[in-house]
Chain A
Amino acid sequence: MIKEYIKIAIKSLRRRPVRSWLTMIGVVIGIFLIISLLSLSGGVKTAIMQQLRMMGKDLIMIMPGELTDIVTTFIGGLELTDDDIEAIKKAKGVDVVVPMTYKGEAMRHKGEKKTVLLCGVPIEDGLDILRTDMGLELKEGRWPIPGKREIFAGYLVPEDIFPGMKVGAEVTVRGKQFKIVGVLKSIGNKSDDSQVYVDLDIFREITGERTGAKMAIAKAKPDYLVEEVVENIKENLEETRKRRKGEDLPSYTVLSSDKITGIVGSIMNLMQIAIFGFASIAVVVGGIGIMNTMYTSVHERIREIGIMKAVGAKSKTIVLIFLIESGFFGLVGGIGGIVLGLGLAKIVEIYCQTQHLFLLKASITPQLILFGLAFSFIIGCLSGFFPAKKASKLKPVDALRYE
C-alpha cells in the first residue's frame, strides 16, 4: 500500500510545484553546505595527514616558543641558539641534528627579480634525513655538493616563479652567483613547493646570520624510544637555559613526528565537527521550512483529509501520507544538495590542482553520500511529524464541514 500512498503524496506535491521547489531549496542549501564542506575538509585532512605520514617515525622537531603560540614563534623571529643546537646534539639517544633556517631573499634569473624563501639546510649531515625521512625527491638534476654555491629548487620554482628555468641555470642572490643543480618533485602545497634550498654554511655566509636556526630536526638512534629521546632533549634544553640565568628565556616545543600527526589530526577533527555543527544549522532551517509548508498544506487540505477518513483512512494512514510528503522534500532536497555539494568540492579540487595551491582531493565517499541522504530524509520526516499528527487528529465530520 505504501506505493499508493507515495503516489498520493507526490500528486499533491505536484499540484503546487513552486512551493514544493522553494521548500526543497531550503534543504538543498543546508545539505549543500554540509556535503561540500565535509568533503573538502576531509580532503584537506587526508592531504595533510599524508604529508605528515611521509615523515620518518623517529624524527623529533624542536622549535623555540610554546606550542600554543606557534604563530608568534614564526612571525616573532624566536630562534634556537647554537647552544641550544649543541644541547640537542648532546641529548641521550640523538643520532643527528639538522638545524634549519630560512629567510626571504631576492633572487635574480635572466634579468628577472623575484623574492623566494631561501632555506638553509646542512647538506652534509642533513641530506639523508631530508630524503629518507622528510620525503624530498628529485624530479631532475642532482643534490648539491656541500660547501658549494649550488641550489636545489622546489617543484613550482621553474613552473611558476621563473618559468622556463632549467637545471644548470645561473641565479644571483645578494650579488653572489649560484647554480641550480636540482628540482624537487611536488610536496603537495604551494608554499613548500616554492622554496629554494641551499647548504646551511653558504646560507650563513651570504645572509650574514652566522648563528642559530629557526628550528631543528633531530633523529633518534634506532635503539631508543622516540618519546624518551624527546624527554632527554627537553631536559638538556632546560639546563642550557638555566645556565644563561638572568635572561628572559624562551621556552621550547619538542615534538615527535607521531605527536605532531596526533595534534594535527585532532585539530582537523575539531574543525570538521565545527563545520558540521554550523552547516547543520542551515539544514535545520531547511527543516523549519518544510514544517511551515507542511502546516500550510495540512490547513489547505483539511477537507481532503476529511474525505479520506470518511472513506476509511485511519489516523496512521494520514500520518504516513504526510510524512511521505515531508520526507520527500527532505530526500529530494538532500539529493540536490549532495550533487551540488560534491560538484563544488570537485571544482575546488580541480582549481587547487591546476593552481598548484595544495594537493587536495575532495573526499567523496559512499558514507558521506549515505549520510547526506539519511540526514536530509530524517530532517524531512521530523519536520513533517507534527503537521502530520495534526492532520491525523482531525475529526472527519469537522474536516468535511470545513470550507
Chain B
Amino acid sequence: MPKQPLIKLKDAWKIYQLGEVELAVLRGISLEIAPGGFVTIMGPSGSGKSTLLNIIGCLDIPTKGKVFLNGKDISELSQDELAEIRGQKIGFVFQQFNLLPNLNSLENVMLPMVFQGRPENERREKAKALLTILDLEKRISHRPAELSGGEQQRIAIARAMSNDPEIILADEPTGNLDSATGKMIMEILIDLHKKEKKTIVVVTHDPYIANYSKEIINLKDGQIIADHKRAGKVLWKK
C-alpha cells in the first residue's frame, strides 16, 4: 500500500474578487506531497507560487477544492484551527525573514513555542540548541535590526524548526541574500531534509536547489504546466 501523502490538493482554486472582475490565481491545482519529500515550486512572477505555498501551509484556504493534511480535510477549518495546525506541524521561512523587530533572536525562536504553551525552560533550551546548531549562539540577544540578512534568515529557520514541525515551507528564502549566503541557507534546508527527515517545500529560482530537488512543480498562470517527478526530467531549464 502506498504511503499516505502528507499533503494533498484536489482541484484547488483560488479566486480573488476584484470589484466586478474575478481573478483566478490558482486554477484547479491537484498535487500530492509525500512525507520526507523535497519539493520545489517554480514559475514566473505572478504565476501563483506564493498563493499555492500558503495553501499548502494552511495559511490560506482555497476558494474551491480540497486540501488534505495527513488525510484530514482542512479546507473547511476555522482560522483558529488552522493556526493550531500551523503552530504544531508547519514551519515557515519567508523571503523577507519576517522576524519580530522588538524581540531578540532567542525570543523570536521561542515565539512559536509560546503560542503552543510550552514551558519556559523547555522553550529556552530548545531555542538555544537550535541557534547553536545554526552557529548563532553569539547572536542570541541581538535584535533583527542588528543582524545580517543571512543571520536573520538562519534565525527564521530556527524559528521554523522550534515546534518540530513535519513540514518546512520556504518562499524564496534566498531572494534577499547574496549568492554565497543564499547557498548556505539552501544547504541548511538540504541538511534538514537529509538529517532531520523533514518534508520541505521551497519556492525558488535557484538552480542549485532545483538540482537537488527530486520534485519540481512548475506553475504558469495558476496551473501546473509540468511536474518534474512525473515527467522525469528537469523541465524548468529552458
Give me the interface of A with B, judged by CB distance under 8 Å.
Answer: 1, 4-5, 7-8, 11-12, 14-15, 303-304, 306-317, 395-397, 400
Among A7, A304, A307, A309, the most chain B Cβ lie within 10 Å of the Cβ of A307
Contact, CB under 8 Å: B102 / A312 = no
Give me the interface of B with A, judged by CB distance under 8 Å.
Answer: 54, 59-60, 79-80, 83-84, 86-88, 92, 94, 98-103, 107, 111-112, 114-117, 159, 163
Contact A396/B59 with A11-B103, A308-B100 known, Cβ cut-off 8 Å? yes
A-B contact pairs, 24 of them (CB 8 A): A1-B117, A4-B114, A8-B103, A303-B98, A304-B100, A306-B98, A308-B100, A308-B111, A310-B92, A310-B98, A311-B86, A311-B92, A311-B115, A312-B86, A312-B88, A312-B112, A313-B83, A314-B84, A315-B79, A315-B80, A316-B80, A395-B60, A395-B79, A396-B60
Q: In the bound complex, how far is the Cα of B87 from the Cα of A395, in angstroms?
A: 15
Cβ–Cβ < 8 Å partners of A304 in chain B: 100-101
Closest to A303 in B: B98
Contact, CB under 8 Å: B87 / A312 = yes
Cβ–Cβ < 8 Å partners of B163 in chain A: 312
Q: In the bound complex, how far is the Cα of B27 from the Cα of A359, in angstroms?
A: 84
Cβ–Cβ < 8 Å partners of B94 in chain A: 400
Contact, CB under 8 Å: B115 / A397 = no
The listed residue (B59, B88, B103, B107) touching A310 by CB distance below 8 A is: B59
Among A303, A310, A311, A316, the most chain B Cβ lie within 10 Å of the Cβ of A311
Cβ–Cβ < 8 Å partners of A314 in chain B: 79-80, 83-84, 115
Contact, CB under 8 Å: A8 / B80 = no
Contact, CB under 8 Å: A397 / B54 = yes
Contact, CB under 8 Å: A12 / B102 = yes
Contact, CB under 8 Å: A311 / B87 = yes
Q: In the bound complex, how far is the Cα of B103 from the Cα of A15, in angstroms?
A: 11
Contact A308/B115 with A314-B83, A314-B84, A315-B79 known, Cβ cut-off 8 Å? yes
Q: In the bound complex, how far is the Cα of B83 from the Cα of A315, in angstroms?
A: 9
A contacts with B: majority SS: helix
Contact, CB under 8 Å: A312 / B59 = no
Closest to A5 in B: B114
Contact, CB under 8 Å: A400 / B83 = no
Q: In the bound complex, how far is the Cα of B102 from the Cα of A389, in angstroms?
A: 22
Among A312, A316, A396, the most chain B Cβ lie within 10 Å of the Cβ of A312
Closest to B80 in A: A314
Contact, CB under 8 Å: A307 / B86 = no
Least Cβ distance of A12 to chain B in Å? Answer: 5
If A4-B114, A304-B101, A396-B60 are given as contacts, then 14 extra A-B residue pairs at C-beta distance below 8 Å, sorted by A number, are A1-B117, A8-B102, A303-B98, A310-B59, A311-B92, A312-B115, A313-B83, A313-B115, A314-B115, A315-B79, A395-B79, A396-B83, A397-B54, A400-B59
